[in-house]
Amino acid sequence: MTPMQLAESLFQRLREQSLDPPGVTRASFGEGENMAHALATETATTLGLEVRTDVAGNLYLSWPGRDRTLPRVITGSHMDTVHHGGNYDGAAGVVMGLAAVRALQSEGFTPQRDLTVMAIRAEEMVWFPTHYCGSRMAFGLLPADEYDSLRRNDTGRTLAEHMREAGFDPEALKAGARPLDPADVHAFVEMHIEQGPILEERGIPVGIVSGIRGNLRYRHCRVVGNYDHAGAVPRAYRHDAVLAGVELIHELDRYWDQRQAAGDDFVATVGEFYTDAAMHGVTKVPGELHFTLDIRSLDDKLLVDTDAWLCREAARIGKARGVEMDLGTHTHAEPALMNRRLRETLEAVAAREGIPALTMASGAGHDCATFTWQGVDTAMLFVRNQHGSHNPHEAMEMADFEAGLKVMVGLLRQIAGSE
pLDDT score of 287: 98
The pLDDT score that the predictor gives to residue 95 is 98
Query: With bands split at pLDDT 50, 70 and 90, how would you rate the model's confidence at 419?
Result: low
Find all residues with CB under 8 Å of 40, minimum gap 6, and list them. Answer: 10, 59, 61, 79, 94, 98, 117, 119
337 CB-near residues (< 8 Å, 6+ apart): 210, 211, 298, 372
Domains observed in the chain: 3-213+335-416 (3.40.630.10), 214-333 (3.30.70.360)
Give the percent of the chain with pLDDT over 90: 98
Model confidence at 418: pLDDT above 80: no
pTM, entire model? 0.92
Res. 292: pLDDT tops 90 = yes
Between CA 220 and CA 237 the distance in angstroms is: 27
Look at residue 31 and tell me whether its pLDDT is greater than 80.
yes
The pLDDT, as a whole number, for residue 48 is 98
Each residue's pLDDT tens digit, 321-374 = 999 999 999 999 899 999 999 999 999 999 999 999 999 999 999 999 999 999
- pLDDT higher than 70, residue 227: yes
Residue 391 clears pLDDT 80, i.e. is over it: yes
| DSSP E strands, 242-365 | 267-269, 273-274, 284-285, 288-297, 324-326, 330-333, 336-337, 357-362
- What number is the average pLDDT over the span 178-201? 97
CA pair distance 318, 305, nearest whole angstrom: 20
Q: What is the mean pLDDT of the chain?
A: 97
pLDDT digits (tens, 9 = 90+) for 92-126: 999 999 999 999 999 999 999 999 999 999 999 99
- The DSSP secondary structure of 117-177, one letter per residue, reads EEEES---TTTSSSTTHHHHHHTT-S-TTHHHH-B-TTT--BHHHHHHHTT--HHHHHTT-
Query: According to the model, what pLDDT value does residue 29 have?
Result: 98
